Amino acid sequence: MSQQIRLKSYVKRSGRLTNSQKKILEKKEYNINFFNSNKILSCQELFNNYNPCILDIGFGDGKLLTDIAKNFQDLNFIGLEVYDAGVGNILKQISENKLNNLKISNCDAIEFLENYITDKSLYGISLFYPDPWPKKKHHKRRIIDESFLNLVSKKINKGGFLKIVTDWSNYADHIIELLDENYNFSKENDRYLFKNRILTKFEKRGILLGHRITELCYKVK
C-alpha cells in the first residue's frame, strides 16, 4: 500500500532579504550555530554537554527564542525555520549575544522529527503561532494534527513538555480536543522558562486585532 503524502504546513516564498541577512546566509554553512540535517543528530555532540534540549519549531524572527536561550543557559535549544529571513535574523542575534546553547537548522520539522532526532532525546518542543491556515479548505495543512502529536510524543522524554501558543480560536479548540484525547499527554501549568517571556511579533498583532491568545502546555506521560 502506498504511503500517504503529508501536505507541507508552509509554502516557501522568496521574501526580501536585507544585505546583512544575505551576508550571513551566504556563509551559514561555515557558521558554528547552523547545522544541516543530514544524519541522526546527537544533542550531546551538537552542544558538547548533557544539558536538556528543547526544540522550537518555526521561530519566526527569532527574538523570542534568542531571549529564552539567553535567560536559560543551562538548557540547550534547537530552532527550526524554513524561511531564510528568519534564519539570517537569528544567526545574527546568536552572534551578538554570544550564545553557545542555541543551534539552528532550516530543515522541515516533520522531516527532522521523523529522520534526524532519536526517540526520547528532547526535554520539550515548542510552537509559537504555527501557521493557522484560517480557510477551512486549508485546515489539512495545519502542522498540529493527530499524527504530529503521536510523533512528538515519541521524541520527548517522559515528563517533558509540549508548549503551543496560537491566536486562532478554532485552531486552539481543535488542538485542545486532540491533546485531551491523546493518552500520551496530560495538561499542566506552564513551564518556568515561559513564565516571563517576551511577546512575539505575531502575538502583538493578534492582540491588536482582538484575537484570543491561547497558551497550552502538556506533559508527556
Closest among 89, 83, 125, 123 to 107, alpha carbons compared: 83
Mean pLDDT of the residues in the chain: 90
Confidence at residue 24, expressed as pLDDT on a 0 to 100 scale? 77
**pLDDT reported for residue 138:** 60
Above 80 in pLDDT, residue 32? yes
In the chain, domain spans: 21-29+47-220
User: What is the spatial distance between Cα 207 and Cα 196, in angstroms, rounded to a whole number?
Assistant: 17
131 counts as catalytic: yes
* pLDDT on residue 31: 86
**Mean pLDDT confidence for 120-146:** 90
Q: How confident is the model at residue 1, as a pLDDT?
A: 36
pLDDT confidence band for 16 (50 / 70 / 90): confident
User: Beta-strand (E) ranges in the chain?
Assistant: 53-57, 76-80, 102-105, 122-128, 156-166, 185-187, 214-220
User: Please, what sign has the CA dihedral across residues 79, 82, 85, 87?
Assistant: positive
Which pLDDT does position 12 carry in this prediction?
57
DSSP 98: T
* Catalytic residue from among 131, 167, 173, 180: 131
| Closest residue by Cα to residue 82 from 109, 103, 101 | 109
Residue carrying the nine cell digits 522558562? 193
Query: Once rounded to an integer, what is the mean pLDDT over residues 128-147?
Result: 87
User: Can you give the pLDDT at residue 134?
Assistant: 79
Q: What angle do CA 159, 161, 162 make, to 5 degrees?
A: 150
Rounded percentage of the chain residues whose pLDDT exceeds 70:
91
Lowest-confidence range among 22-36, 134-148, 154-168? 22-36
Residue type, 175: I
CA atoms within 13 A on the CB side of 198: 13
Determine the topology of domain 21-29+47-220 in CATH. Rossmann fold (3.40.50)
* Helical packing angle, 84-97 and 19-26, nearest 10°: 80
Quick: pLDDT tens for 91-128.
999 999 999 999 999 999 999 999 999 999 999 999 99
Strand partners, 128: 165
Q: Are 78 and 55 in contact (CB under 8 A)?
A: yes
Higher pLDDT, 141 or 187: 187
Residue 2 has pLDDT above 50, yes or no: no
Q: What's the mean pLDDT in 167-178?
A: 96
Question: C-alpha grid cell for residue 203?
Answer: 502575538
Q: What stretch of H or E contains 153?
A: helix 146-155
pLDDT digits (tens, 9 = 90+) for 46-96: 999 999 999 999 999 999 999 999 999 999 999 999 989 999 999 999 999
Residues 83 and 17 sit within 8 Å (Cβ to Cβ): no
